[in-house]
Amino acid sequence: MSASTYPEAATVQAAEGVFIDNRWEPATGRGTVDVVAPAEGRVFARIAAGGKPDVDRAVKAARHAVEEGHWGRLSALERGRLLMKLGQAIADHAEELALLEARDTGKPMKQARADMVAAARYFEFYGSAADKVHGETIPFLPGYLVATERERFGVTGHIIPWNYPAQMFGRTLGPALAMGNATVLKPAEDACLTSLRIAELAAGVGMPEGAINIVPGLGGEAGAALAEHPGIDFIAFTGSPEVGVFIQTAAARNHIGCVLELGGKSPQIVFGDADLDVAVPVLVNAIVQNAGQTCSAGSRLLIEQSAYDLVMERVIERFARLRAGTPEMDLDLGPVINAKQKKRVEGFFSRAEADGVPLLAMGQVAEGAPADGFFVAPRIYGPVPRGNRLAVDEVFGPVLSAIPFEDEADAVRLANDTDYGLVAGVWSGNGARATRVARKVQAGQVFVNAYGAGGGIELPFGGMKKSGHGREKGFEALYEFAALKTIVIKHD
């Protein structure tokens, strides 16, 4: 695979198969899945449709790698160095990977480039952390020494979505590998080419056989086979709550743990004393980034009633200027991922219209954007009635719901009035108030006078309520992919 220009990147043939023991092998069933370019609405590549026998081989390869192979014998320092080399390889191939990711997901090139910086950074972060995970000694009875250590699970399974494929690859595999696990990854059928390419890069920097195995294919086939496989010791999943239930049920049957990240309906809480010059561009970007297909998108704009008109005037003005286009046009946003997602998002629009929710502004699909692309002009609705689907459901599209609140207590009530709890933003010039609200909002991450949808590899990230459980990113993710063992030694 050598792609350095946009059209060539298109011809990448992931169809070589499944990636096991650092080699491409044909998938057992030999079927393929079409890969569609969302900005063009047409097929540009094919991937192997992995199935149960492929997952089985991948899990066996991982088991061998960790128990008998070279991978399992490496020190934490050596593992870390390999991961840092992989990070460097991603950085060295950033342009090629960004072109591939942009074609595969439709996202603007600037976003795809930023994604590759983040993907490389995941391996740098977890590579440099691999040899810094310590246990403790615990004071106990006289005559005893008690120590804890964090022990790898063995084989970890990973199922990732299509919205930020390369970043997700780093986010989930980085910490699992740093802790010494061997991994089997099922990337999303809608966008997985960078995962396949990065696996090749990993082999190229000397990652031992079996440490990273990739089985592309459909969720209900390759994904389900991985989730249910009795040979995995832990599973990490990012995607929809519906599939999250399936993953957790499968994990329960095998008595293994899981980390689930299942999206959100994250509130941006704006008080009248917020600095709007700083806030407004961030508020708009937090929903428009990646066409709203970000688990931590700031999709609810909660505004103090007294400042509602002023804030909305500025947000609307900005929203109306937004434009969607192809990756090369490099505008504010790209298309959504596929025809089904476009239909889903437009379904929310029809219902909003039927419910009489006022549409306040719309961006545009740029002239020249292919008619067959899955473009959705961004929209802002408000005031959205509390409890309306636009106020509580995850749309996963470029749609912002504005809702006024009365006072601080009402803001907290409203912010917590969804099943989700992933991220929140609080905007206020009153530090004590912002702190109080930040502590009362149900969310795994809260930003004050800032918002970082998807940002911050150093920052532990994960959900409360229906957004899932467990933590990714930061040092916490390393603990997530290991079991704590307590060793009790009697010496007197």
Is 220 a residue that touches ligand NAI (CB under 6 A)? yes
Integer CA distances (angstroms), 445 to 159, 255, 448, 457, in order: 22, 29, 10, 13
Give the residue with the Cβ less far from ligand NAI, 192 or 478: 192
Smallest gap from Cβ 157 to ligand NAI, in A, equals: 10
Is 159 a residue that touches ligand NAI (CB under 6 A)? yes
CB-based closest residue to ligand NAI: 219
Smallest gap from Cβ 392 to ligand NAI, in A, equals: 13
Give the residue with the Cβ less far from ligand NAI, 239 or 425: 239
Binding mask 378-407 for ligand NAI (x = CB under 6 A): ----------------x-x-----------
Is 188 a residue that touches ligand NAI (CB under 6 A)? yes
Pure H helices in 12-158: 52-67, 70-73, 76-92, 94-105, 109-129
With both helix axes pointing from N to C terminus, report the angle between 165-178 and 76-92 in degrees, rounded to the nearest 10: 160
d(CA 252, CA 242): 16
Is 104 a residue that touches ligand NAI (CB under 6 A)? no
Those residues with Cβ within 8 angstroms of residue 317's Cβ, 6 or more apart along the chain or in another chain: none
d(CA 308, CA 302): 9
Q: Hey, what are 443's tokens? A: 């969310």
Smallest gap from Cβ 71 to ligand NAI, in A, equals: 24
Q: Which run of H or E residues covers position 485?
A: strand 482-490
Contact range with ligand NAI by CB under 6 A, out of 216-224, 308-316, 349-357, 450-458 = 216-224
Q: Contacting ligand NAI (CB under 6 A), which of 122, 153, 234, 246?
A: 246
Give the residue with the Cβ less far from ligand NAI, 53 or 220: 220
Smallest gap from Cβ 239 to ligand NAI, in A, equals: 3
Smallest gap from Cβ 270 to ligand NAI, in A, equals: 24
Q: Hey, what are 242's tokens? A: 């519906």
Those residues with Cβ within 8 angstroms of residue 182's Cβ, 6 or more apart along the chain or in another chain: 61, 62, 63, 65, 66, 69, 71, 72, 154, 155, 156, 210, 211, 212, 213
| Binding stretches for ligand NAI (CB under 6 A) | 159-161, 163, 186, 188-189, 219-220, 223-224, 227, 238-240, 243, 246, 261-263, 295, 344, 394, 396
Please identify every residue annotated as catalytic: 261, 295
